[in-house]
Amino acid sequence: MRRFPLLVLLVLSLPLFAQGVWGARGATRSFVLGGNVLYAADGRGVSAYDVRAGISRIDVESGDDESFDVALMGATDLVLATNTGVERFAVAGDGTLERLSWIEAPSRVTHIAANARYAAAVSGEILTLLERDGNELKIARRITLNDPITAVAFAGDFLYVSAADQPLRVYLPPSSTPLRLVPGVEALDMAVANDVLWVVSEDDALVGLDISKPSDPRVIASAGQNELRLRGVAAAGSRVFAFEHPHTLHTFDVSNPASPRKMDTRTEPAGALAANASRVFVSGSVYESSALNYDPGYLPRETGKPVRAFDASTLALAAEVTDYAGPVSGVWTDGSVAYVVDPPYLRTLDVSKTNDPVEVSSLLVPNLQDHIRVKNGLAVIYGRAYVNFLDVSLPLRPRYLGTWDAQGFPKSAAAILRTRLLEANQHSGMHVIDISDPNHPVQIGGRKWHYSDVAAGDDAVYAIQHDLLLIVEIAEERDVVDRGEINLQYTQVDTSPPNASQPPLLLVRGDEGLRLYSIAGEERFAPRELEFFAMTGLDRFATGDGSAYIARGGLLHFIDLTQRIALQPTDWRVTSPMQMSVAGAKVVVADRYSVRVYGPDTAPPPPLPAKRRSARK
């Protein structure tokens, strides 16, 4: 029985524990070139690469905020767009960086451009002009447009701003009054070279504007209209490079800027571009896989090559950098061992020493999915309408058993019943799967409709549909029997404890907050609401035994599910949590750009059994 104290609980910080990180990596979002140094906004922060000959990483400035775009303020400063604001760095003579200051933005900053004095930061429909003030940035002006701002670029003192369904605007900062409107020109990206502003969009492809008089740009060129759907551009010398999402790279000869000529088209994952006279720098994510029937980018995968350099004339590969691929998308832990979904591998970590997580092994899993659950020595990995299943009865030696294809679309979810699996996805419905023969998994029961998340005990399943939570019984581990529904919209559901045979509690998250239900005994088929906790801005949660941790505002918060719900903040930071797992006081986070481990040290994992020696004859 839940008992509440008479007084409202105080929100207190929890005790400090050790913190550890494994497998840090980036996912390049944008580039900017400063001489012989290439800077990349890579999600975890900003990375610097020396590109004089090959490519070598010379600095990584990581943080707890997620980064999206980067720009140089002259030769001495760099500004980074993050989900909370703008960070400013000093650029040393060797290209390495030193943090200087940070300024808050109205919301996530998705685009940023700069000249030596000003930076222009985009947050939705709001353009924030920042002015250099010694070692600080100060807000010089905020300009609100009526539509989302899609691209910004500086040419000398002049700022070019594109917004959806509006003409291109030309500003002279810090003024908020445009000097010129250029009708019919919209941009998803812009690049300046040789007094030409090259603009790309999915509707108009490549457009060139003469900006020899920056306050009065004139359209002089167009290429690829009604043929190419361009989303990014870089320009240098007589070449313009542009990409179509997600993996088509085009090269244009612009020796005559008024007549761009497409020279080359090739398949190359592309989401970020930069160029100088001799090389073009490319990075991109993988949004599709030939092994999947349909994957529209539910969760992009990285190539493991955050920078690739090609010869600007021949597009021959000149150099590349390799790193962890990822993203780190799934995790489960028992407190000592953690299984980490780090595509294309399932990695096994020893997390018993919190501040020193160690990889024990890695397993290449065909058609590896995104998220993981473990129960009774069995692991299921799910997320893209396939289900991988593995034997984890020996914790340090997971063994791949097989994969079942639901013939559906992402996103999907899965749970473990008593001896069978349950899968549910957005297209082909809900499925009960018999894996007694791992080489030939078979569907033995099911239900139609569209599902985005599920949680289950041995025989009760809680499935999120678009506008309700469906409760079903899996009778005889085969037949799907509707038992009830809750007509509220939810985003995430899990039991407490997770993956238990007969869990007593069910926690769900929606846009308005959290709801907690009793599902003990017969209430498992008729959940009884215990509490509604109203709060916006809640991110992913993970449940433990009578407890939960939830991400909000870049921090993990503890929730005691046996008391009246209150968020108790910790000092545990998260950047972009994809999945979390709780075991006692140990919390492990698949945080997209790394694995984060929090809590006290725990017992080491059980050793592998000794191999039997063969008897001598």
Mean residue pLDDT of the chain comes to 92
What is the DSSP track for 109-148? --EEEE-SSEEEEEETTEEEEEEEETTEEEEEEEEE-SS-
The pair of three-digit structure tokens given for residue 506, joined into one six-digit string: 């069910």
Q: Which residues contact 274 (CB under 8 A, 6 or more apart)?
A: 31, 32, 33, 38, 234, 280, 281
The pair of three-digit structure tokens given for residue 301, joined into one six-digit string: 């995968």
pLDDT in tens, 469-483: 999 999 999 999 999
pLDDT in tens, 356-380: 999 999 999 999 999 999 999 999 9
What is the DSSP track for 345-413? EEEEEE-SSTT--EEEEEEE-TT--SEEEEETTEEEEESSSEEEEEE-SSTTS-EEEEEEE----S-EE
pLDDT at 9: 34
Of 89, 98, 88, 78, residue with least CA distance to 32: 78
pLDDT at 612: 60
Of 188, 277, 287, residue with least CA distance to 240: 277
447: helix, strand or coil: strand
d(CA 160, CA 221): 18
d(CA 6, CA 392): 45
214: helix, strand or coil: coil
Q: Answer yes or no: is pLDDT of 200 > 80.
A: yes
308: helix, strand or coil: strand
Q: Answer yes or no: is pLDDT of 442 > 60.
A: yes
Q: How confident is the model at residue 8 (pLDDT cuts 50, 70, 90)?
A: very low
Peptide bond into 605 cis (omega under 30): no
Query: What percent of the chain stands above pLDDT 70?
Result: 94
pLDDT at 16: 56
pLDDT in tens, 165-181: 999 999 999 999 999 99
- Mean per-residue pLDDT for 78-84? 96
pLDDT at 107: 93
pLDDT at 18: 67
Q: Answer yes or no: is pLDDT of 31 > 80.
A: yes
pTM score over 0.95: no
Q: How confident is the model at residue 300 (pLDDT cuts 50, 70, 90)?
A: confident
pLDDT at 414: 96
Number of CB atoms found within 10 A of residue 407's CB = 14
- Mean per-residue pLDDT for 29-49? 97
d(CA 480, CA 459): 10
Q: How confident is the model at residue 611 (pLDDT cuts 50, 70, 90)?
A: low
313: helix, strand or coil: coil
pLDDT at 408: 87
569: helix, strand or coil: strand
pLDDT at 6: 29
Of 500, 504, 599, residue with least CA distance to 561: 504
Of 182, 222, 231, 223, residue with least CA distance to 202: 231
143 vs 611, which has greater pLDDT?
Answer: 143
- φ, ψ for residue 523 (rounded to 5)? -70, -10
Q: Answer yes or no: is pLDDT of 208 > 50.
A: yes
pLDDT at 17: 65
d(CA 160, CA 170): 5
pLDDT at 616: 52
**CA torsion sign, 498 to 349 to 392 to 423?**
positive
Strands (E), 383-491: 386-391, 399-405, 412-416, 421-425, 429-434, 442-447, 453-456, 460-464, 469-475, 479-486
Q: Answer yes or no: is pLDDT of 7 > 50.
A: no
pLDDT in tens, 500-551: 999 999 999 998 999 999 999 999 999 999 999 999 999 999 999 999 999 9
d(CA 578, CA 592): 6
Q: Answer yes or no: is pLDDT of 293 > 80.
A: no
pLDDT at 410: 84
Q: Answer yes or no: is pLDDT of 617 > 60.
A: no
d(CA 310, CA 191): 18
pLDDT in tens, 402-411: 999 998 888 8
- Mean per-residue pLDDT for 336-360? 97
238: helix, strand or coil: coil
Cβ–Cβ under 8 Å, residues 81 and 111: yes
Max CA distance (Å), the chain: 95
- Mean per-residue pLDDT for 304-331? 94
Q: Which of 4-13, 331-340, 413-422 has the lowest mean pLDDT?
A: 4-13
Of 321, 366, 309, 359, residue with least CA distance to 343: 366
What are the distances in angstroms from CA 404 to CA 79, 213, 384, 450?
46, 62, 11, 18
Q: Answer yes or no: is pLDDT of 10 > 50.
A: no
Cβ–Cβ under 8 Å, residues 92 and 107: no
Q: Answer yes or no: is pLDDT of 15 > 60.
A: no
